[in-house]
Structure 1
Amino acid sequence: MNYLIRAAKPGDLQSIYEMAKLTGGGFTNLPPDRQALRSKLERAEASFAREEDAPGDELYLMVLEEVETGEVRGTCQIFAQVGQHWPFYSYRIGTDSKHSEQLGRTFHAQVLMLSNDLHGASEVGGLFLHPAARAGGLGLLLARSRYLFIARHRARFADRILAELRGVIDEAGGSPFWDGVAGKFFGMSFQEADQFNAVHGNQFIADLMPKHPVYIAMLPDSARSVIGVPHPSGRAAMRMLENEGFAFENYIDIFDGGPTMTARTDQVASVRNARHVEVAGIAESGEDALIATGRLADFRCCFGQVGADGTIDAKCAGLLDIGKGAEISWIGR
C-alpha cells in the first residue's frame, strides 16, 4: 500500500472524527467532538492560506492518506506559536529550599509551580495513527513529516519547540494526577475537564487554578508516581522525540502530569539535517528517505529513495506528482 502525508481538508472531517473516537481520552488535540474538529479544520485551512512568513496563531493539520483507497489513516498537527489566543500553562517541577540554624538542617522540597515559561514556542502534537495502519514505519512518517514542513517553512515557526506527551490514564479513563492535584479545585472529573479544554480552551484554568506552589510530598502516592511519566502508548513517541533532540526539562501537563519535551527548533535533527535540492531525474535506487515537496496547502510527503545525484524513485515521484526540476526536502529514513 502507498501512503502520503498531505494537508487536511474540510472533507476529511468524518474520517478524523472516527479516528478521534479511538484515542481513548486524554488526547486534547484530537477530541471526539465533531464541532471542535470542524473548527480545527477551518483554522488549519486559514493557516495554510496565510501568506505572511512569520509565527502566528496558526494550526497546520495534516493527514496520512492511503492513496489507493483515499482513506485517512492518521493525523498530525503543528502549532506555530502557543499561547496566542489562550495562555499556555504548564507545571514546572522546582525546588523549595529552607534552612534551620537551630536544627542545623537544610530541607529541599520539590514543588509544582504554575508556569507560562513556554509561551510563544511552537508545538508538534496531535499525532494519531489508526490501529489498522500501525506497521511499516507509518508513525515515523507522520512524526517526521512535521519537521520537514517546519524546515520548508522555517520563518513561520518559533526558535523553541515543544511536544506534550499524554500522561498515565487508568482503566476507567481517569487520571491519577488530576485526581490528586487539579481536580481538587475544579469540581469536575478528568474526562469532563479534558473535553471542556479541547472544545472551549483553557481560560478556566487561569480562573480557578491556585497560583501558589503545590508541594509534591503532600500529594497522594498515586499522583506522585505518575508525574512526568508518559502513557504506555506514548513511550515510543517519547523515544522518537529524544532521537530528534527533545529533552524533558521538568515541565509537565497540568491535567494528567505527562511530560512536556522541549528543544531548540534549529537543533531538531530532522530540521537540522533536512536537505533541499532540485530533482535531477528518476532512478530506481538510492538512499531510503522521507521526501517532501510543495508549499503550505500543497505540502506532500512520503517514503522514497534519493540518489546522490539528486534523482528520486518513480513511485515516490508519482505519489508526490513531481518530476525533474521540482524542489524537494528530504531526510534519511
Structure 2
Amino acid sequence: MKTLLDKLYIENDLSERELALLLQNMDSESEKQLFEYSSMLKTKHYGKSVYMRGLIEFTNFCKQDCLYCGIRRSNSNAERYRLSKEEILRCCEEGHVLGYRTFVLQGGEDSHYDDSKIIDLIKLIKSNFPDSAVTLSIGEKSFESYKSYYDAGADRYLLRHETASKRLYEQLHPGMSFENRINCLKNLKKIGFQTGAGFMVGLPGQTNEDLAKDLVFLKEVKPEMVGIGPYIPHPNTPIGKNSGGSLEKTLIMLALARLLLPDVLLPSTTALGTIDPLGREKALNAGANVVMPNLSPTNMRKKYELYADKICTGDEAAHCRKCIEGRINRAGFEVDMSRGDHPSKQA
C-alpha cells in the first residue's frame, strides 16, 4: 500500500475507495511510513510546537440521548451540575495566570444556557482576557444563534460530526438529524468561525468504508480543527457493553487526517490517554499538535463523564499544566501557550 501512501503524501488527497483500500490493507510497514509522513507534514507547518488550550466543562446537562454518551439525557445515574458565571470566570482567571490564551467552553446541550447567557459569558471572557481566544463546544444551534456568538466575540466552535455515515449516525443519535448536523458545520464555516469537526473510531457497527467516508467528509468541509478519538464504552449507556476503539486505529486516522489536511489543528485527546498511558504522546508523534488540559473545578470533573475511567479528574489545574508540559517535552516537542490560531486565520 506504499504507493497509495505516497500519492496521499504528495497530493493530500485520495478517493473514498482508495482510503478504504488503504485502511483494509494497512500493515506495520505501511503504518511506519504513514506516521513518518504525518510527522513530516506537521513539522513543515508547525515545527515542534504543541498548542495548549484550557478546557472548562461547564455543564453536564444535555437534552440529547446519544447512545454512547455518559451524560445522555436518559442516564439517571449521572450527577448533574452547572457552573455559575462566576465559577467559569474563576477558571479562566486561574488559566490565564497559568499561561493559557485559549479557553474552551464545553458542555452538553443545556437549555439553561440560552443565547443571552452564552453571549454574556463570551463578552465577559473577552473583556477580562482580551488577549485570549474563546472556543465553544455546545452542540447544535440555529444559524442565528451561531452568528450571535460570533458577533459577541467567540473565535472557534467545535462540533464533531461523530460519523459521516448517515446510517450509523442515526442509529446512535435517536431523534437527531444527520442532515442538520452537517448543515450546522456548514453554517459555522459560513459565519467565519474557526470550525472543528471530528469523529469517533471503533463505534459499534463501524466499518473501514465508514471511516473512509469520514476522511472524505473532512477533505470536503476543510475544518480548521479535527477531533478524533477512540470510542470508549460507558456502562450507563445502551451500548456500554460493546468493545471500544483501539489506540492503533485511532492513531492511523489521526495521521491520515494530517495528510489530507496538512495544516489542520489536531488534538491529542484525553480519551487516548485513558486507553493507553502514553496515548497522548503517541498521538503527537502521529501528527497531533494540540492538547487541552482541564481547568474545570476538581470537584466537578468526575461528573463530566462522557466515557468510563476518564483520567486526570482529580488533578489541580496547575498540576495538569505542569504534567502535560513535561509529557510534551519528553516526547520531543515544545509547548506553545499562544492563542494558536489556524494559519488561515492569523492576523
User: Taking structure 2 as the reference length, what is the TM-score of the superposition?
Assistant: 0.27
Q: Judging by fraction of residues, say which structure has more strand.
A: 1
Normalised by the size of structure 1, how large is the TM-score?
0.27
Q: Which protein is bigger by CA-based radius of gyration? A: 1
